[in-house]
Chain A
Amino acid sequence: MRTMLKSAVAALAGLVLATAAPASDWTPPGPVKLMIAFAAGGGADTQARLIAEDLEAKLGWSFIPEQVTGKGGMNLAMAIKDMPNDGSVIGMVVTETLGYNMRVADAGVTPDDFTAITTTAGFQMGVVSLASKGWTTFADVVEAAKSGEALRFGTMSPRLSDLAYLLGKANGVEFNIVQVKGGRAVMNGVNAGDMDLGFMAGIQGKGVAAGDLVNLASALSEPLKQTPEAPTFADLGVEFVADGYFTFIGPAGMPTEARDALAAAIAEAVSTEGMKSHGIIAKAFGGPAVIAGDELQALVAADFEAAGALLEAASE
């Protein structure tokens, strides 16, 4: 019954998507304000701006990008909450913003106060160290830590810090967890020797390919695309994962028509060979990963609920 229901929903969703694109007469009522929760010039910011460029070129819509950074996307969430919900204001955050961060911030909002539009790409979140450290698997890290070496573990969000703590705990070691701003800062820290290992969400691709960096583990529910042999968090005894996506959101109550038109347009840009945004997503974020509409709304709601369990586990 459940599978049937699921496939029915999927078919329906497919139908909606299939019909949405050609039948969509919806166009933005004017220039779309695009809020970006990431620092200017980084990979995520570039992705958002390239998506806007692609849509401008393809559909003739116009976008006004604006940086609303800080507090793990919560600043953007609080700013977009009361904006017009007619599709003229959208924002790019990560699913973590509506999940863990919104839960911890306790700012009186829930994912229901927002319209989830679509995801664009997932994180290839790995635990990474310099190849020159001589570690080839995560077991080597555990061994080094057990031999008394104080290891610094770089993270870029409180949720990841919790995960790093649980990863150490599950393996009987304790890391000195250093939280910095953004994946690039982790990579710079690891490169400069300020940190011994750290989370990187795709930025490590080039360095791993060149042999300078090593993916020691996948922080996802599945193996990393680049290093499938690296163990996952489940293999290492951690029951939580760092799965997450870049996602577009709007204020609550956005008309379904507007939401689906935006989602379809964004999804097409990031999935189409030759589009600028597809290029960067393929290069830096392991390819497009599109989850849209109600399914995404359900996903962020579930993340928000699940955040409590992670918090509890990490504070034990």
Chain B
Amino acid sequence: MGALDYIWLGIAAVFQGPELFSVAGVGISVTLVMILAGFLLGIVVGATPGLAGPMAMAISLPVLISIFGFTPDALLPVMGFLIGVMKGATIGGAVPAILFNTPGTPDAYMTTLDGHPMAQAGQAKKALKIAHVSSAAGDTFSDIVLILCAPFLAILVEAYLDLPEKTALLILSLAFIAAVIGGSVGKGIISMGLGLLAAYVATGEDFYPRLSLGSQTLAQGFPIATAILGVLILGEVFKSLEDLWRDHRSAGPRAEPGQSGDQALRWTDIRRIAPYIGRSAVIGTVIGALPGIGSTLAATLGYTAGSRRHARRRPGSTPFGKGAPEGIAATEAANSSVSGANLIPVLSLGIPGNAAAVFLILAAESIGGFNPGPSVFRFTADTVNPELVVAFGLFTAMMVANLLNWTIGGAFMRVVGVMIRVPKHILLPIVLTLTLTAIYVQEARISAMWFAIGFGILGYLMRRLGISHLPFVIAFILGGKLEDTARQAFAATGGDAWFLVTSPIAAVFMALAVAVVALSLRKPQEVKA
């Protein structure tokens, strides 16, 4: 079994997996259909203001698991669907941004700056085409980087990091996420601390369920779906419902500006925007590879970098912010290229960097048989490592989704503009019901509903207080792993209480963890100066 055999097995797992139906004698594998379905759903969801990719992933995951079951065969169809949603939502977000000046997803905000002026100038179709090409290009580039980097990073980690170093790396990741997400380190650490606290209820090695206050309801801990969907989705729904109630905004559908002129995307256009796409794709990929920094920051950085270059190189043409195609390209390439690179820490370290990655890990954990982390990339010679096959299957699924993106994504994108007309007061209750149903499907007990609503209120409060909820979610996922690794490292070093600082690599990680928090604390003063 060489690397090539594994790649081939992964491709075969996607194309020759269990078939759903056959066209002219050629079986169409269920995984392919799921990728397509996820991709189309993703575009629709991305194009609907108030919905986002993670919401669709959260709601569909329990439903998909109840359809496909807990067998290893379920991994690729379910994760393929989620990858489809992730990619679809990225390009879908640009649609309302361009047509109606309302970003469908937060990372499409910068797209409104140039996209909407272009639409007002009668160039909406062209703007959509530019957004599509840039997004697809950025996404594909990022996936290629992922496929090339993740296995090597995983092998490096496995070769050089022992249990104490792995513990230190988890602490560094959490410190980094708490420090960089949101505006304030303090709030980030509060959010992370709450996540760890929730993760530690009733877990651990003792037979006695700790922190459960003697209650049998708490003795199994908080089900992962209730905590994550509660904070991530219900919190958002509660906040949006309150916004709706406060504003009474008659958010009636806005008129689409009349269209005229040459809408085709010509070769010269592509040549013009190519440098912006390239630069933003690199920025987005680098940002994406660091856990916790989302696509919104990537979009901002990509846009700013593009803007500077534009002002310097082409002073005569339409400036950024006034309807420059280059502005759309710079933004969309940057926010799209985050998604692939974001899976580098997921697959090589098991550390999720954003909400989409959280749901991929959740899918793997719920279904079983695939544990994202360095052990995935073990190229065994005599026996087949099924996890590695799944990993290459996922890479294949991403490439299939990219292919769909290049071929039908653009056309589909241009028809989902109608989603802006979906009124929020109808949409939000639907999301609320679907989320609670999805949780109940997975955790068939009524206490799970209460947990979910409780976490929803926590998520709402965090949003109102300006505390980012992502550190909570990531800490909740990593909490168990952190404790296990730390316990194991402690035992493996023969009960050395200083295991985090005795090995040089672990000590460096710990120093970086302290440094990243300390440096982020200093940031506001620098801004003043």
Contact = CB atoms under 8 A, between A and B. Distances in A.
Interface in B328-387: 366-370, 374-375, 378, 380, 382-383
A70 to B, nearest CB: 6
A40 B367 contact: yes
A194 B163 contact: yes
Contacts of B367: 40-41
B207 A74 contact: yes
Contacts of B488: 178-180, 189, 194
B498 to A, nearest CB: 15
B296 interface: no
A309 interface: no
A206 B492 contact: no
B219 interface: yes
A22 B444 CA distance: 35
Interface string A66-97: 10101110110011000000000000000000
B207, B367, B369, B378 — which one has the most chain A CB atoms within 10 A of its CB?
A: B207
Interface string A203-239: 0001100111000000000000000000000000000
B378 A194 contact: no
B162 interface: yes
A70 B203 contact: yes
B92 interface: no
A188 B70 CA distance: 21
Nearest to B216: A78
A69 B158 CA distance: 28
B205 to A, nearest CB: 7
B424 interface: no
Nearest to B378: A191
A70 B221 contact: yes
Contact of A70 (B216, B220, B366, B493): B220
A57 interface: no
Contacts of B370: 41
Interface in B470-520: 484, 487-488, 491-495
A259 interface: no
B207 A71 contact: yes
Interface in B10-28: none
B203 A158 contact: no
B278 interface: no
A192 B159 CA distance: 8
B209 interface: yes
B368 A40 contact: yes
A45 interface: yes
Given A40-B70, A78-B219, A107 B492 contact: no
B207 A188 contact: no
A101 B207 CA distance: 7
Number of chain B interface residues as a range:
35 or more
A76 to B, nearest CB: 9
A17 B70 CA distance: 33
A129 to B, nearest CB: 15
Contacts of A45: 70, 368
B491 A179 contact: yes
A107 B207 contact: yes
A212 B1 CA distance: 14
B412 interface: no
Contacts of A177: 491
Contact of A195 (B205, B487, B492): B492
A188 B371 CA distance: 11
Nearest to B159: A193
A41 B364 CA distance: 10
B162 A212 contact: no
Interface string A137-151: 000000000000010
A311 interface: no
A75 B369 contact: no
B208 interface: yes
Given A191-B378, A210-B382, A75 B492 contact: no
B491 A192 contact: no
A14 interface: no
Interface string A157-194: 01000000000000000001111110000001101101
A11 interface: no
Contacts of A105: 207-208
25 contacts: A39-B368, A41-B70, A41-B72, A41-B368, A41-B370, A42-B368, A46-B71, A49-B70, A65-B70, A66-B444, A70-B220, A71-B207, A71-B209, A75-B220, A79-B216, A106-B208, A107-B208, A152-B492, A158-B207, A177-B491, A178-B163, A178-B488, A191-B378, A212-B380, A212-B382
Per CB-CB distance, the 3 closest pairs between chain A and chain B, nearest first, are A41-B368, A105-B207, A40-B368
Interface of A: 39-42, 45-46, 49, 65-66, 68, 70-72, 74-75, 78-79, 101, 104-107, 150, 152, 158, 176-181, 188-189, 191-192, 194-195, 206-207, 210-212
